[in-house]
């Protein structure tokens, strides 16, 4: 019978493997804490220059810091052991599935009317590098899911035609700042995470390392028009303010 592991069991198993790898890294001298300190300093210097308006110089320091972190992680025994464990588990599951395939019976109704599919163009799209600003523009707000690499995002919702109900805005970036401007008559929910950076929403501030926070206005659940924001950044600040 095919063995199914729960997510908790898998995370526990990988945590044990990762811990063993960390011990091996420390014993063999492969763990370099100074490299992580150097990366942290580079990222903080980069954030300082970005806050001063020197975006290019700040991005260079941040990229150096991120690269040092990636090299340190990928070259560690802990990461390699976890990667081997994941590959082994996937291979085992594929092997078992071929030995004991799951049979699914599907009943098909012949008289099913085909539904037409309409493709809509979102008001913003994915990008790799650059700044994306929607300021002083009239547009129809809709659900959107954006992923980007390096750059700042600024969106002004005061000129948007906001529909009734809940509109979901998803922003996933690596390095950069997110600034969102909300009209006073719209309720807001913010679910955000950041590795290095600050989070500000209507005067409420949180910051530090590896933060994950959920904030919402008091009347969010009862509001006829509301915006749900889901964001994540590796390095950068997230700010939501009323205008």
In whole angstroms, how far apart are CA 240 and each of 5, 39, 147, 188? Answer: 40, 28, 19, 9
241's enclosing H/E stretch is: strand 238-242
Percent of the chain with pLDDT over 90: 25
- Closest among 182, 176, 120 to 147, alpha carbons compared: 176
What's the pLDDT at 7? 66
The larger pLDDT score, comparing residue 184 to residue 123, is at 184
Exposed/middle/buried for residue 25 (C-beta within 10 Å: 0-12, 13-18, 19+):
buried
Exposed/middle/buried for residue 46 (C-beta within 10 Å: 0-12, 13-18, 19+):
buried
Exposed/middle/buried for residue 212 (C-beta within 10 Å: 0-12, 13-18, 19+):
exposed
Does the model's pTM come out above 0.85? no
Euclidean distance between CA atoms 96 and 61, whole angstroms: 47
pLDDT tens for residues 181-216?
999 989 999 999 998 888 999 888 887 778 889 999
For residues 76-109, one letter each, b for 16 or more C-beta atoms within 10 angstroms of the residue's C-beta and e for the rest, the string is: bbbbebbeebeeeeeeeeeeeeeeeeeeeeeeee
Among 91-95, 134-138, 175-179, name the one with the lowest average pLDDT. 91-95
- Closest among 177, 167, 187 to 122, alpha carbons compared: 167
Q: Tokens standing for 187?
A: 């309720």
Among 25-29, 92-96, 132-136, 202-206, name the one with the lowest average pLDDT. 92-96
pLDDT tens for residues 2-22?
556 666 777 778 888 888 888
Q: How many CB atoms lie within 10 A of CB 127?
A: 16
Phi, psi values for residue 39, rounded to 5°: -65, -40
pLDDT tens for residues 39-93?
888 888 888 888 887 878 888 888 888 888 888 888 888 888 888 888 887 777 7
Average pLDDT, the chain: 84
What's the pLDDT at 225? 92
Exposed/middle/buried for residue 4 (C-beta within 10 Å: 0-12, 13-18, 19+):
exposed
What's the pLDDT at 1? 47
């Amino acid at each position: 019978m095919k063995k199914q592991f729960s997510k908790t069991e898998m995370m526990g198993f990988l945590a044990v493997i990762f811990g063993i790898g960390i011990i091996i890294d420390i014993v063999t001298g492969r763990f370099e804490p100074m490299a992580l300190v150097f990366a942290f300093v580079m990222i903080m210097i980069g954030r300082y220059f970005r806050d001063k308006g020197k975006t290019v110089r700040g991005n260079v320091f941040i990229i150096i810091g991120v690269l040092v972190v990636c090299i340190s992680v990928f070259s560690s025994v802990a990461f390699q052991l976890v990667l081997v464990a994941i590959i082994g588990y996937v291979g085992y599951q594929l092997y078992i599935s071929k030995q004991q395939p799951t049979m699914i019976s599907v009943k098909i109704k012949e008289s099913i009317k085909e539904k037409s599919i309409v493709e809509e163009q979102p008001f913003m799209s994915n990008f790799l590098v650059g700044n994306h600003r929607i300021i002083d523009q009239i547009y129809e707000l809709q659900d959107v899911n954006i992923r980007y690499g390096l750059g700042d995002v600024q969106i002004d919702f005061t000129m948007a035609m906001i529909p009734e109900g809940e509109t979901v805005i998803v922003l996933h970036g690596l390095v950069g700042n997110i600034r969102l401007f909300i009209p006073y008559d719209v309720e807001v929910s913010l679910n955000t995470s950041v590795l290095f950076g600050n989070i500000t929403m209507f005067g409420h501030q949180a910051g530090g390392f590896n933060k994950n926070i959920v904030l919402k206005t008091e009347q969010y659940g009862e509001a006829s028009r509301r915006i749900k924001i889901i964001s994540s950044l590796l390095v950068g600040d997230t700010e939501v303010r009323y205008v």
